[in-house]
Every structure is written in structure tokens, then in C-alpha cells.
């Protein structure tokens, strides 16, 4: 046993190691401390669980997940899957979850677009554009999202006219305080041809894009990816649509005195939540984008100009790919924030997961522990999956260092 590794060998030391009291030995002290922490945490958990069980039996509240199949007995306005008042709590859970995913998905797409526009505007040399973007970002970021949601819902959308005074918009659109009514598409028998063509067009576009990228890496020659994309994704399905005999018609909403029949209704709760989330998150995404573009050093742009690239390709091929590396990680957390913030739906009555499940179902069953646990597990899963996907994308885009 050599004396060299004596300091870190800890307890295995032989005669040459000085005797140290165990409370002065960092390693033993570490074990003691960890054991203590473990015991304390376990004790807290045990006490909480014990109290919870005794409290629940005293209040005669059922435990377990048996309530999942019980009849819910309440109605949900907006649903993506069939749901009746006689459906089960489990069904209500899925309705809420799909509503959350719907508003989060649409919100993420729109917030990204708006955020990138504002972020670029914030960097514009144009004084007016720059200042307008700055005012937008400062005002939106420094007021609570909940306030903005309440404003959109109560002050803007609830102030729209009654049904009989609906705003008539061309093409069969009606706007009133019950939402936006749109023509409902009715798909004919041959419409599947168009769908299949579109799918084939998309696949063809991606294949072509990959081929074009490889060709550019090999030979430096660029291909008209955008034109081919428009042809494959837009023109080809359009052609098939006309060949198939225009298998699409619209069911135009019919404005009655007190109600509107037919068509698709977009609820004001959904619009308010979407508006609030998109406008709020876009301000944060704009700052992320701005920081990302500013992180690309000016020398990169200058070098691209020196090589004879025009401003467009410089942005496309040099600045944006490098900026994306800086942008993606904080952008991911903004996406997660948007998803988590969609739970504020409960304040304006949009039937999302929290409103339906952690709200109505919790109040009806009283099974707080199970309901909250399920709700939290869902959000944790969404967070985890999003992080995994974005980390994978990020690792693909990350700088390959030597």
C-alpha cells in the first residue's frame, strides 16, 4: 500500500494513515450526511402519505383510479373526439389533453413565425421598424400573460356583437361573441386521391431537397428547390383535384335570429387563449432570435461578401445556420413554456387538460391526489418528449468540433 493514494483511499488506509475522527473525514461525513438526508426525506414522504390516508378515510373520499370509468355527467364545448355527458372521466381526460395539444401545437407554429419576424425587425436598420418591434417586446414581456388573456377574452372577444348582429365576412364567415363561424369543408368520394398526391408530393419534395443538398455539397451547384417544392406540393395536388372533378364542397353556416346552424365554430375561448399565448411567447422568441443572430460575428457576413455572396444567400447559407445553433436551446424552453402556459386556459374557460381534469373532474370526484398526479405526469411527459426531440435536433445541428 503506497502512501501516494492514501489521501483519497479514505477508510482503506493502513498504518501510515493518521487516525482521523469520523466527523473530520470528509468521505465518512458525506455518507452520514446523505444517510441523514435520505431518512429525513423518506420520513417526510411517509408522514405525508400516512396523513393523507387517514384524512381521506376520515373524509370518506375514495382512493385509486376507479373513478376513471365513471360517468362524467358534464358537457365540454370544444372537443376533437366524440364526447357525451354520459362519457367517462377517462374520456373527458382525453378531450382535455387533445385540446391542450391543439392549442399548444397551433400556438407554437404561429408564435415561431411571429417571433422570427419581430426578432428580425428588432435588428432592422430601419428606425421605425426597429422601435415598433422594441415597444412590442417591452410591453408584452413586462405584463403578465394572465392579464393579457383576460384582456383578449373579456375586453375584446366578449365585446363583439351578438349573434343576430354578427359581422358578415365574405365567403360565409360570421364573427360574433360566440366565436368565428366558418364554412365546413365536405369531402367528396374522390378526395382521397388529392390527399395521396399531396403525401407523395411531400415525400418527393423531401427526397429532392436531400438530393439537392448532397449535390451542392459535392459540386457547389444549387438547385431550384423552392420551385420544385411549389410544383410538387401545390400544383400537383391542385391538378389532381381538378382531374378528380373537384370533390370538395362547403357547408356554409346559416345565420338565424338567435343561433347559427352548420359550419365550423371556433370558440372565443380558443381564439383568446391562442392570441394571448402567441403574442406573449412571440415577444420572448423575438429576443431569442435577436440574441442568436447577434451571436454570429460580423466577420462571417463580411467574409461571405468578400467571397462574392449576395445578401440573400449570405443570410441563408452563412448567418442563419450558425444562428440556429444558438437559437434552438432557448427556443425549446420557450416552446415548453407555451405548452405549460396553455394551462392558464382555466382562467377563461377553455376546456384544456387543467380546466377539464384538474378543475371539473377534481371537484366532482374530490380525488385530488390522483387527479393532480395524472395532470402533472402528463405535463412532465410532454416536457420530456419535447426536450428529447429538440436535443436530438440540436445535436444534429451542433458544431462538429475536432
C-alpha distances out from residue 347 to 60, 154, 265, 351, Å: 30, 11, 21, 10
Minimum gap (Å) between residue 387 Cβ and other proteins? 9
* Distance, CA of 331 to CA of 329 (rounded, Å): 5
Query: What's the half-sphere exposure (Cβ side, CA atoms, 13 Å) at 188?
Result: 13
Q: Which is nearer to other proteins, 110 or 132 (CB)?
A: 132
Minimum gap (Å) between residue 314 Cβ and other proteins? 15
Residue 254, beta-bridge partner list: 261
Q: Which is nearer to other proteins, 230 or 369 (CB)?
A: 369
Q: Which is nearer to other proteins, 106 or 146 (CB)?
A: 146
Q: Which is nearer to other proteins, 238 or 380 (CB)?
A: 380
Minimum gap (Å) between residue 336 Cβ and other proteins? 8
Minimum gap (Å) between residue 248 Cβ and other proteins? 35
Which residues contact other proteins (rule: CB under 8 A)?
A: 26, 30, 33-35, 37-38, 41, 47-49, 51-52, 54-56, 58, 124-129, 132, 138-139, 141-147, 150-151, 154-155, 159, 340-341, 343-344, 346-347, 354, 358, 362, 368-369, 372, 375-376, 379-380, 383-384
Q: Which of 341, 339, 332, 337 is nearest to 389 (CA)?
A: 332
Phi, psi (5° rounding) for residue 264? -105, 135
Phi, psi (5° rounding) for residue 81? -120, 155
Q: Which is nearer to other proteins, 58 or 218 (CB)?
A: 58
Minimum gap (Å) between residue 371 Cβ and other proteins? 9
Three-class DSSP category at 261: strand
Q: Which is nearer to other proteins, 163 or 346 (CB)?
A: 346
* Distance, CA of 53 to CA of 49 (rounded, Å): 6
End-to-end CA distance of the chain: 40
Minimum gap (Å) between residue 37 Cβ and other proteins? 6
Q: DSSP letters along 228-257, please?
A: HHHIIIIIHHHHHHHHTT--EEEE--EE-S
Amino acid at each position: 500500500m503506497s502512501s501516494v493514494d492514501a489521501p483519497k483511499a479514505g477508510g482503506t488506509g493502513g498504518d501510515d494513515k493518521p487516525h482521523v475522527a469520523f466527523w473530520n473525514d470528509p468521505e465518512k461525513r458525506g455518507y452520514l450526511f446523505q444517510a441523514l438526508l435520505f431518512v429525513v426525506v423518506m420520513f417526510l414522504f411517509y408522514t405525508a402519505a400516512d396523513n393523507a390516508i387517514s384524512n381521506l378515510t376520515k373524509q370518506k373520499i375514495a382512493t385509486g383510479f376507479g373513478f376513471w370509468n365513471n360517468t362524467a355527467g358534464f358537457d365540454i364545448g370544444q372537443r376533437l373526439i366524440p364526447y357525451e355527458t354520459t362519457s367517462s372521466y377517462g374520456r373527458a381526460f382525453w378531450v382535455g389533453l387533445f385540446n391542450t395539444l391543439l392549442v399548444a401545437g397551433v400556438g407554437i407554429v404561429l408564435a415561431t413565425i411571429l417571433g422570427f419576424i419581430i426578432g428580425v425587425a428588432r435588428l432592422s436598420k430601419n428606425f421605425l421598424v426597429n422601435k415598433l418591434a422594441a415597444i412590442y417586446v417591452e410591453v408584452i414581456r413586462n405584463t403578465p400573460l394572465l392579464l393579457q388573456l383576460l384582456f383578449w377574452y373579456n375586453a375584446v372577444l366578449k365585446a363583439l356583437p351578438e349573434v343576430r348582429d354578427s359581422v358578415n365576412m365574405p365567403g360565409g364567415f360570421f364573427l360574433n361573441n360566440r366565436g368565428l363561424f366558418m364554412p365546413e369543408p365536405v369531402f367528396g368520394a374522390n378526395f382521397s386521391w388529392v390527399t395521396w398526391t399531396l403525401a407523395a408530393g411531400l415525400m418527393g419534395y423531401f427526397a429532392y431537397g436531400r438530393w439537392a443538398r448532397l449535390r451542392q455539397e459535392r459540386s457547389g451547384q444549387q438547385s431550384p428547390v423552392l420551385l420544385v417544392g411549389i410544383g410538387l406540393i401545390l400544383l400537383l395536388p391542385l391538378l389532381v383535384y381538378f382531374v378528380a372533378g373537384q370533390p370538395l364542397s362547403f357547408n356554409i353556416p346559416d345565420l338565424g335570429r338567435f343561433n347559427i346552424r352548420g359550419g365550423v365554430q371556433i370558440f372565443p375561448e380558443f381564439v383568446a387563449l391562442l392570441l394571448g399565448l402567441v403574442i406573449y411567447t412571440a415577444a420572448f422568441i423575438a429576443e431569442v432570435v435577436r440574441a442568436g443572430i447577434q451571436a454570429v460575428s460580423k466577420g462571417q457576413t463580411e467574409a461571405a461578401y468578400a467571397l462574392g455572396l449576395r445578401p440573400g444567400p449570405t443570410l441563408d447559407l452563412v448567418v442563419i445556420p450558425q444562428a440556429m445553433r444558438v437559437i434552438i436551446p432557448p427556443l425549446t424552453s420557450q416552446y415548453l413554456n407555451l405548452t405549460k402556459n396553455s394551462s392558464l386556459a382555466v382562467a377563461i374557460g377553455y376546456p384544456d387538460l387543467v380546466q377539464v381534469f384538474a378543475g371539473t373532474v377534481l371537484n366532482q370526484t374530490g380525488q385530488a391526489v390522483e387527479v393532480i398526479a395524472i395532470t402533472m405526469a402528463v405535463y412532465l411527459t410532454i416536457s420530456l418528449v419535447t426536450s428529447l426531440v429538440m436535443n436530438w435536433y440540436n445535436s444534429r445541428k451542433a458544431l462538429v468540433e475536432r
